[in-house]
Amino acid sequence: MTLISFFGNALTAYGPALAVFLLYVARNAQLVILLMTSAFFWLLSILFSSVFWYLIKPLQNVPVGTIFVAVTLQELFRFLFFKLMSKAEKGLNIIAKTPNSPLNRPANAFVTGLGFGIMSGLTLYLSQLAESAGPAILACNSCPGMDVFFVGALTTCLFIFLHSVWNMVAFDGWYRGQWLPFGFVMISHYAASYGTLLTPSSIEYGCAIALLIDFVILIVCTTLAVRPILVS
């Protein structure tokens, strides 16, 4: 059972992202390097938030505050990464396979977002995944029929792609000089993260609600991210 749950959780959490990585990103050296760079940026953001969390003692037992700090810093680093990308963009475009393709921007934004997502998925879920290989399960507080690890896997999977589309939406807005899309990204990130507070809560079907919130945000953001591409 332990191995089964381990592989099940692992593939649930990382399978889709892994497929995208292997089938799309890994075939292009430039995209791989972009992904690694963005992963590094996300790592920086989470390290900063954890340092804040560590230094500010009152924060440590208040998940609401923790989420606020972490999400804010992640979005800040998204912006910083955008700054870096826009500096390097011209160079990136010429060395791209298709230098003049209008799809370069969205593609790069998607891949760097995937880097954010994969890194966050690995950092936040990997140790639980390792634990899920153990003989016991831990019931989810809000949905006693569910296993914490599996709910975590679903959440991770959704968040990986949420990061991708958030990146696309935010970058697209910034490229056009608008901050509104980024504002939306920020709000939806808060919403998605605060939504997951329902999972450990005692609200009935809290985990389902949390997952539903994430899923709806994913759909809305995907629409927002894809529409400019289709329109242009």
Partner 1 sequence: MANQQEDEAFNKPAQEEGTLGAHTTGNGDFPITTLCTVCGRPARYMCSLCGAQAQVYYCDPSCQTFDWNSGHKAVCAGMHNNGAAAVRETTLPNTSPAVSSAVSLANASSMASLDNTGRGRVRQRRRRVRGRGNVAQVINAETHFIDRIKGFFSRGSSQHQSTHSIQSIPPTIPTPTTLRTPDSHIVVPPRTSSSVENQEHPIMEPLTEEEKLEDLKFYMEQVYLIIKPVLCCIALSILWVKLTTESSPNFSTGIGETAAPPSTVGSTFGSDDKGNTSAFINALIILGQIVGATIVVVVLFYFNCMKILFGFFILVVTALLGTFGWTLGSELLISHNLALDQVTFWFFIWNMTAVGVLMIFYKGPLFLQQVYLVLMSSMMAYTLTKLPALTAWILLALLAVWDLIAVLCPFGPLRILVETSQNEEREIPALLYTVMVWMMATPGEPPSSTRDQSRVSDPAIIAPAPAYTPNARWSRGVESAVSSWTPLSEYGDERHLTDSSGQDVELDVRNSTGTEMIGVNNEVARGHQGNTPMPPTIPAALPSQGCRVTDGESRAPNDSEEEEEEAARGGLKLGLGDFVFYSVLVARAALFDWITTVTCTVAVLTGLNMTIFLLALYQKALPALPISIAFGILFYFVSSVTLTPFTNELVRRQDKIFIEGADTWLWVGKNGGGGMIYV
Interface positions, 70-99, toward partner 1 (CB under 8 A):
70-71, 74, 87-88, 90-91, 93-95, 97, 99
The SS3 of residue 178 is coil
Question: Would you state the structure tokens that stand for residue 206, as one six-digit string?
Answer: 């809290």
- Per-residue burial over 58-72, b if 16 or more Cβ lie within 10 Å, else e, is ebeeeeeebbbbbbb
CA 189 from centre of chain: 9
**Is 35 among the residues that bind partner 1 (CB under 8 A)?**
no
140 binds partner 1 (CB under 8 A): yes
**Site map (CB under 8 A) of partner 1, residues 182-201, x = contact:** ----------xx--xx-xxx
Which residues are CB-neighbours of 61 under 8 A, at least 6 positions away?
none
Q: How far is the CB of 230 from partner 1 (least distance, A)?
A: 25
By beta-carbon proximity to partner 1, the closer residue of 173 and 206 is 206
Structure tokens at 165: 């589309």
| CA distances in angstroms from 147 to 2, 213, 214, listed in the order given | 13, 19, 18
Among 80, 103, 130, 219, binds partner 1 (CB under 8 A): 130
Q: Check binding of 167 to partner 1 (CB under 8 A).
A: no
Q: Which is nearer to partner 1, 135 or 177 (by Cβ)?
A: 135
Instruction: Report how far Cα 183 is from the mean position of its chain's Cα atoms.
Output: 17
Is residue 156 a contact point for partner 1 (CB under 8 A)?
yes
Per CB under 8 A, 228 contacts partner 1: no
Rounded CA-CA distance 33/39 in Å is 10
Distance separating alpha carbons of residues 227 and 170, to the nearest angstrom: 13
By CB under 8 A, is residue 203 in contact with partner 1? no
Tell me the window of 75-83, 103-111, 131-139, 224-232 that interacts with partner 1 (CB under 8 A).
Answer: 131-139
Give yes or no for residue 226 binding partner 1 (CB under 8 A): no
Radius of gyration of the chain (CA): 18
Which of 76, 124, 208, 226 is the binder for partner 1 (CB under 8 A)? Answer: 124
Asked if 18 is part of the footprint of partner 1 (rule: CB under 8 A), the reply reads no
Q: Is there binding between residue 159 and partner 1 (CB under 8 A)?
A: yes
Which residues lie closer than 8 Å to 129 by C-beta, 6 or more apart?
A: 6, 9, 10, 13, 149, 153
CB of 88 to partner 1, least distance (A): 7
Cβ closest to partner 1, residue 15 vs residue 65: 65
3 vs 136, which CB is nearer to partner 1?
A: 136
